[in-house]
Chain A
Amino acid sequence: MKGILQEKGVALEKQRLTWRDLVQKPISKLDDDAYTRVRIILMNGIELEASRFSHAAARMNPPALQRMLADVRIVEQHQATLINWLIGPDHSPLETTIAYEQVAIDVTAGVAMREPDPYLAQVYRFGLLEDFDHMYRYSALLDRLEGKDANNILQSYTDILPARPTIEHHRAPQDNLRKPYDRKSAAPLSKLHALTIMAAEQQTHNFYMNIGPMYADPVARQLYAEIASVEEQHVTQYESIIDPEESWLEKWVLHEVGEVYNYYGCMQQETNPRIKALWERFCDYELGHLQVALAAFKKFEKRDPEEILPTELPEPIPFASQREFVRETLANEVDLRANGTEIVEKSKESKASLQYRKEVNADGSPSETISAGYRWAPGSELKLKVA
């Protein structure tokens, strides 16, 4: 997409949605392509991050800026609602969880493959192998608790394999922080990647925190508690790669650009015409939001937006199976661990993390318990046992 600074999009005052608009026909769990669901989950995460960021900014900035943030934020609230409500109610929370992990695997893999900064690419691959293992643990839970096949959700695009074991994801807090990119020299794509993955992980964390207690089964409740804790670590990791020296307004502009970028990627790749039209509409909304953020940037910081923005958007993040890349990463990097901001060999893991892990795993490991003896088979592991 060229000339994002010149594109005006839909004016903010024309971005009104009724309650009926917000609650549309959901997608079909069975008939829609898995990546339509992946895009819906990702864009809900992007909108929720927009909201969370905007609230944080409002709490730290003067009333004139608070007003501009509020004007945009209420539209983002409604965008997030419309998008999130597209997930059909025949998805059990656990089936939706499988879809969340598919987002975390295939979108993060797509980002890791194209990330120009080698350190950041390493960080994405590190997180990827943890979400990949979560998929295996949740698939075991889905089969053993609800008697369902995770592959009905995954549609054979994404593998169900043990990766870096979840029991080993738990680290001392200092080992979850990474080095930030430099706002002055980082490629625009690096900034867009970081915001996107941080948003996706943040909503995954929130989702698990909300649905974990909805399950009656104590092992399910434990597993959600354990993996939510890892997702908290992932949010810590991904927010720490973003340069904290970016000003509030610089961050706001980047958020709006990131939203344009991701809606644009969705509309380019969407296979459901009704949802594609929605992505196009919301891309135009975001161009309108960007105009507001740019006006604030010029008014309050008196800086030229071209200092911080690319003249055209990079190629979109792919929504596709990344099986080969994920398997290769698994083969090469499953034994990597973290020590401070560095990703290191297993033997060089920090003592603090080893100690922390020992403490949190002292009463047993939910992820090991639920998947003991489990291997995925078409339909159910029962197929292997009955045959």
Chain B
Amino acid sequence: MQTATEVGMNHSGMDAAPDAEEMLENTELTDPRGDEREAAKVRAEYVAEAGPVGTLPQAEAPLMLLMDKLGERLAFERSGTRLYDALMMKCKAAGAKIPAKELQHIRDEEAMHFALCGAAIQSLGGDPTEQTPCADIAGVEGMGLVQVLTDPRTTVAQCLHAILVAEMTDNAAWEELIELTLPTGNDDLVARFRKAQANEAEHLEKVRGWYKAATLNGGG
């Protein structure tokens, strides 16, 4: 497989196109009509009419945001486990110099965080199998990451870039969860979340290092 970006036959730019001169004429040949802000108006109408992506049926009012965010974290950590599954496969196939044990360790911690979120939701009277609105949207966000990690053509560096996006989000999200849990007075949960946050800080540091090393190796 390809491990670094190389020079080749990229056809997407105009410098490489034999018909670039004719293409340039398009700008002169078009006399545009209308105001480009029209699309924003249409979009705003849809925003005004839109309902939410979904609701939370079981949470008590003071816990609603926390439950929604716990659902989001559960979904993100579960998908994160699968992203690391894909990264481990990619690193192995590419012969990357990233210790497999360390990747496995991070992957297993992601899976444990998934289980931790499920247990936390249950302890607060919620249903961990429920897809909350924030969980649903986190799934939409994560689709691009899944695509990058599972594409056979992507380099290890490109995959690490995608993982970096996930880890940076992870770090911010655990911090937010701790802030939301503190007012509930549930010290045990806060302590467990702080441990997860510490794990995530380590993940981020390692991924940053691996990404930097892979990029310096010409990984793109």
Contacts and interface: CB of A to CB of B under 8 A. Distances in A.
B129 interface: yes
Contacts of A379: 74, 78, 118, 128-129
A154 to B, nearest CB: 11
Contact of B79 (A146, A383, A386, A387): A146
21 contacts: A25-B49, A25-B50, A25-B51, A28-B51, A28-B52, A30-B132, A88-B53, A89-B140, A90-B140, A92-B143, A146-B79, A147-B79, A147-B80, A147-B142, A149-B131, A215-B150, A378-B129, A380-B114, A383-B115, A383-B118, A385-B111
A220 interface: yes
Contact of A382 (B52, B111, B142, B146): B111
A314 interface: no
B44 to A, nearest CB: 14
B131 A145 contact: no
Interface string A23-50: 0010011110000000000000000000
A378 B118 CA distance: 11
Nearest to A379: B129
B82 to A, nearest CB: 4
A30 B111 contact: no
Contacts of A182: none
A218 interface: yes
B88 interface: no
A146 B139 contact: yes
- For the residues of A in contact with B, the DSSP-based class is loop
Given A90-B139, A218-B152, A380 B78 contact: yes
Contacts of B136: 29-30, 90
B55 interface: yes
Interface in B38-54: 46, 49-54
B54 A31 contact: yes
Contacts of B130: 152
Contact of A30 (B83, B86, B112, B133): B133
A216 B150 contact: yes
Contact of B53 (A28, A149, A152, A218): A28
A378 B46 CA distance: 35
A117 interface: no
A151 interface: yes
A373 to B, nearest CB: 13
Contacts of B83: 147
Give the contact-size bracket for chain A: 20 to 34
A92 B53 CA distance: 14
A90 B138 CA distance: 10
Given A28-B51, A217-B151, A383-B115, 11 more contacts: A28-B54, A147-B75, A147-B78, A147-B82, A147-B142, A148-B79, A216-B148, A216-B150, A217-B150, A379-B128, A382-B111
Contacts of A383: 115, 118
A380 B54 CA distance: 21
Contacts of A151: 129
A114 interface: no
Nearest to B54: A30
A244 B111 CA distance: 56
Contacts of B54: 28-31
Contacts of A146: 79, 82, 139, 142-143, 146
B124 to A, nearest CB: 16
Interface string A135-153: 0000000001111110110
Interface string B47-88: 001111111000000000000000000110011111101100
Contacts of A217: 86, 146, 150-151
Contacts of A215: 147, 150
Given A216-B147, A216-B148, A145 B55 contact: no
Interface string A90-127: 10100000000000000000000000000000000000
What 5 A-B pairs are tightest by C-beta distance, nearest first? A30-B54, A147-B79, A216-B151, A217-B150, A147-B82
